Amino acid sequence: MLSDLALWERIARIVEASSAAGAELRPVATLRQVRHAMLREFNYEREASNMERLNTVLSAHPLLFVPTPYRQHSSLCVLTMQFIAGQKLSEVPPTAATAPLADALFHAWMDQIAMGGFFHADPHPGNLMLAEDGRVAVLDCGMVGTVPRRLRRGLLKMLLALADSRVEDAADLFTRLSKDPDHADPEAFRTQVVETLGDAVESNLSELDVGNLLLQMQQAAVRHAIVVPPALTLIGKALLQLDEIGATINPNFRAADSIRKQATYLFQEMITQEATAPRALQALLESEDLMQALPESAARILATLADNRIRIQAITPGTEQLGAQLVQTGRTLGAAIVLGACVIGWAALAIAGAGWFALLLGLVLVIPTAASAGWLAMDVLRHDR
Average pLDDT on 125-146 reads 91
Residues contacting residue 67 through CB under 8 Å, at least 6 positions apart: 51, 81, 82, 83, 84, 137, 139
Mean pLDDT of the chain, nearest integer: 76
Residues 6 or more apart whose CB falls under 8 angstroms from that of 115 comprise 152, 266, 269, 270, 273
Helix axes 319-352, 255-274, angle to 10 degrees: 100
Q: Taking the CA of residue 82 as centre, how many other CA atoms within 13 Å lie in the half-sphere pointing to its CB?
A: 15
In this prediction the pTM is 0.62
For residue 120, is pLDDT > 80? yes
Residue 312 has pLDDT above 60, yes or no: no
Contact between residue 236 and residue 96 where contact means Cβ atoms under 8 Å apart:
no
Task: Tell me if 222 sits within 8 A of 25, measured CB to CB.
Answer: yes
Who contacts 237 (Cβ-Cβ below 8 Å, separation ≥6)? 121, 122, 211, 215
% of the chain surpassing 70 pLDDT: 65
Ranked by mean pLDDT, the top range of 104-113, 198-207, 294-303 is 104-113
Of all helices (H) and strands (E), which one includes residue 146?
strand 144-146
What percentage of the chain carries pLDDT values higher than 90?
17
- Number of Cβ within a 10 Å radius of residue 216: 17
Mean pLDDT, rounded, for 270-292: 59
Burial class (CB in 10 A: 0-12, 13-18, 19+), 314: exposed
Contact in structure between 342 and 311 (CB atoms under 8 Å) = no
57-71, 182-196, 223-237, 357-371: which range is least confident on average?
Answer: 357-371
pLDDT tens, residue by residue, 6-49: 999 999 999 888 887 777 667 888 788 778 877 877 889 999 99
Residue 188 has pLDDT above 80, yes or no: yes
* pLDDT over 70 (residue 282): no
